[in-house]
Amino acid sequence: TAAGDIDFSADLNREQLAVATAPGGPMLVIAGAGSGKTRALTYRLAWLVHHGIDPSRILLVTFTNRAAREMLSRVEVLVKQKTREIWGGTFHHIANRILRIHGTLLGISPDFTILDREDARDLLASCVDEAGIDIRQRRFPHKGVLAAISSFLQNTLESLDDVLSKRYPMFVEEIVGIEKVLVLYTEKKRLRQLLDFDDLLSAWLRLMAEHEDVRDQLARQFLHILVDEYQDTNKIQGAIIDLLAARHRNLTVVGDDSQSIYSFRGANFENIITFKDRYPNAREYKLETNYRSVPEILTLANASIAQNVRRLPKNLQAIRSSGLKPAIVPCHDHYTQSRFIAEYVLHLLDEGRTLADIAVLYRSHWHSLEIQLEFQRRNIPFHIRGGLRFFEQAHMKDILCYLRVMQNPADELAWLRLLKMLPRVGSALSRRVWRHISDSADPVKEVFTVETASLLPVSARPFYEDFAALIRDAREIDSPAEIIDLVLKRSYEDYLVSHYDGASLRKEDINGLANFASQYKNVEAFLADVALAGEFSGENVVAGPDEQEFVILSTVHQAKGLEWPIVFIPWLSDGRFPSDMAMNRKEELEEERRVFHVAVTRARDELYLIVPEIYRNRGGNLVMMKPSRFLTELSRELTEQMELEEGLPHLIGGDDRNLLPSDGGM
Cβ count within 10 A of residue 453:
18
Contacts to ligand ATP from residues 292-311, by CB under 6 A: 292
Q: How far is the CB of 562 from ligand ATP (least distance, A)?
A: 7
283 sits in which H/E element: strand 283-285
- Which one of 26-34, 278-286, 423-431, 547-555 is the stretch in contact with ligand ATP (CB under 6 A)? 26-34
Of residues 16, 83, 252, 302, which one binds ligand ATP by CB under 6 A?
16
Smaller CB distance to Mg ion: residue 37 or 597? 37
Residue 245 or 254: the one with the smaller Cβ distance to ligand ATP is: 254
DSSP 587-629: HHHHHHHHHHHHHHTTEEEEEEEEEEEEEE-TTS-EEE-PBPH
Closest CB to ligand ATP belongs to which residue? 36
Which residue from 12, 164, 184, 371 is in contact with ligand ATP, where contact means CB under 6 A?
12
> Min. distance of Cβ 84 from ligand ATP in angstroms?
23
Closest to 301 measured CA to CA, from 595, 37, 57: 595
Cβ at position 602, least distance to Mg ion in Å = 11
Count, residues near ligand ATP per rule CB under 6 A:
18
Start-to-end C-alpha separation, the chain: 46
* Closest distance of CB 29 from ligand ATP, Å: 9
Is there a contact between 431 and 437 (Cβ–Cβ < 8 Å)?
no
Residue 38 touching ligand ATP (CB under 6 A): yes
- CA–CA dist 46, 6 (Å, integer): 10
In the complex, what is the shortest distance from the CB of residue 591 to ligand ATP, in angstroms, rounded to a whole number?
Answer: 16
If one asks whether residue 597 binds ligand ATP (CB under 6 A), the answer comes out as no
Q: What is the longest distance spanned by two Cα atoms in the chain?
A: 81
For residues 341 and 569, give the distance between their C-alpha atoms in angstroms, rounded to a whole number.
10
| Minimum distance, C-beta of residue 635 to ligand ATP, in the bound complex (Å) | 24
**Is position 33 an interface residue for ligand ATP (rule: CB under 6 A)?**
yes
Contact predicate 285/27, CB 8 Å: yes
Count other C-beta atoms under 10 Å from residue 161's C-beta.
12
| Closer residue to ligand ATP in complex, CB, 256/524 | 256
CB of 219 to ligand ATP, least distance (A): 27
SS3 content of the chain, % helix, strand, coil (to 5): 55, 15, 35
Find which of ligand ATP, Mg ion, none residue 430 binds, CB within 5 to 8 Å per kind: none
Q: Do you find a cis peptide bond into 578, omega within 30 degrees of 0?
A: yes
* Cβ-proximal residue to Mg ion, closest one: 38
Nearest residue (CB) to ligand ATP, 103 versus 561: 561
Tell whether residue 36 is a contact of ligand ATP (CB under 6 A).
yes
Q: How far is the CB of 17 from ligand ATP (least distance, A)?
A: 9
The pairing of beta strand 224-227 with beta strand 251-255: parallel
Calpha distance 549→380 (Å, rounded): 10
Please give the annotated binding residues, written as ranges.
Answer: 31-38
8 A C-beta contact, residue 556 and residue 598: yes
Residues 216-275 within binding reach of ligand ATP (CB under 6 A): 256, 259
Q: Which residues are annotated as a binding site for ATP?
A: 31-38
Toward ligand ATP, which CB reaches closer, 73 or 522?
Answer: 73
Q: Is the dihedral of CA 390, 392, 393, 396 positive or negative?
A: positive
CB 192 within 8 A of CB 408: yes
Could you tell me if 647 and 638 are in contact, meaning their C-beta atoms sit under 8 angstroms apart?
A: no
Collapsing DSSP to helix, strand or coil, 408 comes out as: coil
19 versus 146: smaller Cβ distance to ligand ATP: 19
Binding of ligand ATP by 35 (CB under 6 A): yes
Which of ligand ATP, Mg ion, none does residue 33 bind to, with CB < 5 to 8 Å depending on kind? ligand ATP
Under the rule (CB under 6 A), what is the footprint of ligand ATP? 12-13, 16, 31, 33-39, 256, 259, 291-292, 561, 563, 601
